[in-house]
Amino acid sequence: MVGRAHKPTALASTPGLPPQPQVTFSDDNSRVTAVLPTGESLEVLLYGATVISWKDGAGDEKLWLSDAAKLDGTKAVRGGIPLVFPVFGTAPDHAQTSKLPQHGFARTSRWEFLGKSTSESESAGGAKAAASSSSSKATAAAADQSVKLDFGLSSANLDDKTRALWPFAFSLIYGVTLNRDSLTTSLVVTNDDDKPFDCQVLLHTYLRVEDISNVSITGLDGASYVDKVDGAKTKTQSSGAVQITGETDRVYTPAAAPSAPVVVVEGGRAGFSVTRDSLGDVVVWNPWADKAAAMADFAPADGFRRMVCVEAGSVADFQTLEPGDAFEGAQTIAIGSRAAAA
C-alpha cells in the first residue's frame, strides 16, 4: 500500500472518554506496572507476586523497600508486600508444613499474570455516559477510576522439590487493586486436592514512615497477642496506642471485627488505615537496630526507623480446607483523608 503523505496520527484515547489506566510490562517481563490517569502507580514483581512499589498521585512512595532487596528472583524480597503461604514462620510441630522454609513458598515462586480489569465509581459511570457533552465530567470519571491486577499460582507451577515438601494440589488467585487513595490486596486459596490441607495466610506489608519514634498504632485496644520477642508469651494489649521503642514482633488477634481499622498515626496524623476481610490477625513487626544489622538484605542500617510492618493475616492457627473448599482474605490500606476518616 502506498503511504499517505497526510495520514492522520493515531489517537491517544477515544474522543469523549476519560484517559484509561495504563498497564505495562518491564522489558524482561519480570514485573508489571499500573498507573492511573491521576498519577497513582503500582509495581508488582512476578517473583512472589510481590508489590514492590505503591505511589500516590504526587509520586510519594507508601511502601518501604530495602536498598539491598533482591529483585532478581534469587531470594524473597525484603520490603513491599511479600505473600506468606502456606505457613507463617516455621512450624516444626505441624506435620503438613514442618518441612517448609520460613514463610512458605508463595513469596519465592514465579506467579502468572492473569490480566487486568478497570472500574469506576457509580458517579464516574454517570460522568462517563455524559462525557461527550462535558470534558469536566470526563475528567471526574478519570479521577474515580481504579485498576485491578490478577495473579495466579498453582501446584502445577511449583518445582518438584517444593511439591515434595508440601504435596497438595491447590490454586491461588491474588488480586491487587489500585485506587486513588487506597490499595486492596486479596488472596483466594482453593483446595484442588482429594484430601484436606491446613494453611496460613499473611500479607506481609512494610509501610513507609518518616520516623518510627513518632509512630503509634491504634485499633488494637484489648487485643490478645503473642509476644514473639518475649518467649511467645500471650498478653493483652492495654488501652492506648501501640508504640514501637525496640524490637517488636507481635501477633495480635484484635477484639474488634476485621472491618474496624487499625490506624498508623505519625506525628499526630493518620497516615495509614488497614481494614481486613476474613483475616482475623494483625502482625506488628519492626526489627530495630540489632536484628536489622544481622539481616544481609536489610539496608540502610537505620532503615528500621523508616518502616513498620502492619500485616493482615490468618496465622494464629491453621485454616483447614476440605477438598473443593476455598478461603478468601483481603486487606485495604487507605491513605490521606481516607485514613483520617477511618
pLDDT surpasses 80 at 252: yes
Domain assignment present for residue 119? The answer is: yes
Tell me the average pLDDT of the chain: 90
pLDDT tens string 183-223: 999 999 999 999 999 999 999 999 999 999 999 999 999 99
pLDDT at 9 (0 to 100) = 42
What is the predicted pLDDT for the residue at 14? 54
- Specify if 75 maps to a domain: yes
Which pLDDT value is given to residue 24?
A: 97
| Share of residues in the chain with pLDDT > 70 (%) | 87
Give CA–CA dist 117/123, Å, rounded.
18
pLDDT at 11: 41
Is the pLDDT score of 342 beyond 70? no
The verdict on residue 16 lying in a domain is no
Find the catalytic residue in 40, 311, 322, 328.
311
Q: Tell me the longest C-alpha to C-alpha distance in the chain.
A: 79
Give me the pLDDT at residue 1, please. 38
Residue 239 pLDDT: 83
Alpha-helical runs (H) found in 172-252: none
Per-residue pLDDT, 127:
36
| Length in residues, the chain | 342
Q: Is residue 196 in a domain?
A: yes
102 known member of a binding site: yes
Q: Reply yes or no on whether 204 is catalytic.
A: yes
Residue 3 lies in a domain: no
CB 73 within 8 A of CB 30: yes
Q: Which helix (H) or strand (E) holds 257?
A: none
Burial of 301 (0-12, 13-18, 19+ CB in 10 A): exposed
User: Is a pLDDT exceeding 50 seen at residue 332?
Assistant: yes
Among residues 204, 247, 266, 322, the one annotated as catalytic is 204
The pLDDT of residue 320? 98
Q: According to the annotation, is 78 in a ligand binding site?
A: yes
Q: 49-77 pLDDT, tens per residue?
A: 999 999 999 999 999 999 999 999 999 99
In this prediction the pTM is 0.90
Q: How far apart are CA 26 and CA 36, in angstroms?
A: 17
In contact, 232 and 226? CB cutoff 8 Å: yes
* CA atoms of 17 and 127, how far apart (whole Å): 9
Per-residue pLDDT tens digits for 110-167: 999 999 999 875 433 333 333 334 445 555 555 679 999 999 999 999 999 999 999 9
107 is in an annotated binding site: yes
Per-residue pLDDT band for 18 (boundaries 50, 70, 90) equals confident
pLDDT above 80 for 336: no
6 is catalytic: no
CATH of residue 101's domain is 2.70.98.10
Residue 130, domain member (yes or no): yes
Residue 13 counted as domain residue:
no
Total domains present in the chain: 1
Q: Which helix (H) or strand (E) holds 61?
A: none
The answer to whether residue 325 is domain-embedded is yes
What average pLDDT does range 275-279 have in this prediction?
98
- Residue 17's pLDDT is 73
Domain residues for the domain of 206 are 22-341
